[in-house]
Structure 1
Amino acid sequence: MGTHALFKRYEGNPIITAEDVSCEAHTVFNPAAAKFENKVILVLRVEEQRGFSYLIRAFSEDGINNWKIDDKPFMIHEPQMGEQFWGLEDPRITYMEEFDQYYLTYVSFAPGGPQLSLVTTRDFERICRHGNLFYPDNKDGAFYPKRFNGRWALIHRPYARGRAEIWLSFTPDLKHYGDHTCIIPVREGWWDCTRVGMGPPPIETPEGWLLIYHGVRTTASGSLYRVGLALFDLDDPTKLICRTNRWVLAPETPYELIGDVPGVCFPCGAICDENTREIMLYYGGADTSTCVAFSTIDDILDFIKEDQKIGRTFYSL
Structure 2
Amino acid sequence: MKLRRHKENPILKPRGDDWESIEVYNPAAIHIDGKIHLLYRATGEYVKYISRLGHAIFDENLNLVERSDTPCFTPDLELWEMSVEDARITPLEGRLYMTYVITPTPCPPYSVRRRLGMPPRPQARTRISLAEVTYESERLSFQRLGIITPYGSNQRDTVLFPEKIGGQYAALHRPSAWIGDGYPTERPGIWFAYLDGLPGRMYEHRLVMKSEQPWESWKVGAGPPPVRTDKGWLLIYHGVDENRVYRAGAALLDLEKPWKIIARTPEPILEPEEEYEKVGDVPNVVFPEGAVVIGNELLVFYGAADKVCCVASVRLDEFVDHLLRAS
In the superposition, the TM-score normalised over structure 1's length comes to 0.89
TM-superposed deviation, 1:153? 0.8
Correspondence for 2:126: 114
Per the alignment, do residues 63 and 283 of structure 1 end up closer, same or farther by CA in structure 2, a change over 3 Å counting?
farther
Structure 2 unmatched ranges of 5 or more: 106-123, 181-186
Give deviations 1:255-300, integer Å, cap 9, x for gaps. Answer: 0000000000001001101x3x101110001010000111011221
TM-superposed deviation, 1:168? 0.8
TM-superposed deviation, 1:24? 4.1
Q: Is the 1:23–1:71 Cα contact (8 Å) retained in structure 2?
A: no
Residue number among 284, 288, 312 corresponding to 1:293 in the alignment = 312
Secondary structure at the aligned position of 2:241 is classed as strand
AA aligned opposite 1:267: P
Residue number among 222, 245, 252 corresponding to 1:231 in the alignment = 252
Question: Is 1:43–2:39 an aligned residue pair?
Answer: yes
TM-superposed deviation, 1:19? 2.3
TM-superposed deviation, 1:128? 1.4
TM-superposed deviation, 1:204? 0.6
Q: Is the 2:19–2:42 Cα contact (8 Å) retained in structure 1?
A: no
TM-superposed deviation, 1:130? 1.3
Cα distance in structure 1, aligned partners of 2:236 and 2:287: 10
Give deviations 1:30-52, integer Å, cap 9, x for gaps. Answer: 00000123211000100120311
TM-superposed deviation, 1:60? 1.4
Secondary structure at the aligned position of 2:77 is classed as coil
Cα distance in structure 2, aligned partners of 1:61 and 1:197: 29
TM-superposed deviation, 1:63? 5.5
Correspondence for 2:99: 105
Correspondence for 1:314: none
Per the alignment, do residues 52 and 13 of structure 1 end up closer, same or farther by CA in structure 2, a change over 3 Å counting?
same
Q: Is the 1:21–1:71 Cα contact (8 Å) retained in structure 2?
A: no
Structure 1 unmatched ranges of 5 or more: 309-317
Question: Is 1:165–2:163 an aligned residue pair?
Answer: no
Q: Is the 1:231–1:243 Cα contact (8 Å) retained in structure 2?
A: yes
Correspondence for 1:262: 283
Cα distance in structure 2, aligned partners of 1:32 and 1:306: 29
Cα distance in structure 2, aligned partners of 1:288 and 1:203: 26
AA aligned opposite 2:9: N
Residue number among 204, 207, 212 corresponding to 1:182 in the alignment = 207
Residue number among 291, 301, 306 corresponding to 1:282 in the alignment = 301
In the superposition, the TM-score normalised over structure 2's length comes to 0.86
AA aligned opposite 1:145: P
AA aligned opposite 1:130: L
Cα distance in structure 1, aligned partners of 2:173 and 2:323: 23
Correspondence for 1:313: none
Correspondence for 1:311: none
Correspondence for 2:326: 307
AA aligned opposite 1:35: H
Secondary structure at the aligned position of 1:94 is classed as strand
Correspondence for 2:171: 154
Residue number among 218, 241, 255 corresponding to 1:194 in the alignment = 218
TM-superposed deviation, 1:114? 1.1
Residue number among 14, 18, 25 corresponding to 1:18 in the alignment = 14
AA aligned opposite 1:199: G
Residue number among 50, 58, 61 corresponding to 1:60 in the alignment = 58
Question: Is 1:132–2:147 an aligned residue pair?
Answer: yes
Cα distance in structure 1, aligned partners of 2:62 and 2:25: 15
Aligned ranges 1:28-39 → 2 under 5 Å: 28-39=24-35
TM-superposed deviation, 1:73? 0.6
Cα distance in structure 1, aligned partners of 2:104 and 2:7: 38
Cα distance in structure 2, aligned partners of 1:23 and 1:7: 31
Secondary structure at the aligned position of 1:306 is classed as helix
Correspondence for 1:74: 72
TM-superposed deviation, 1:104? 0.4
Q: Is the 1:144–1:153 Cα contact (8 Å) retained in structure 2?
A: yes
Question: Is 1:88–2:84 an aligned residue pair?
Answer: yes
Cα distance in structure 1, aligned partners of 2:40 and 2:17: 11
Secondary structure at the aligned position of 2:15 is classed as helix
Give deviations 1:44-67, integer Å, cap 9, x for gaps. Answer: 100120311100111112261224
**Percent identity, aligned pairs only?**
34
Cα distance in structure 2, aligned partners of 1:20 and 1:232: 42
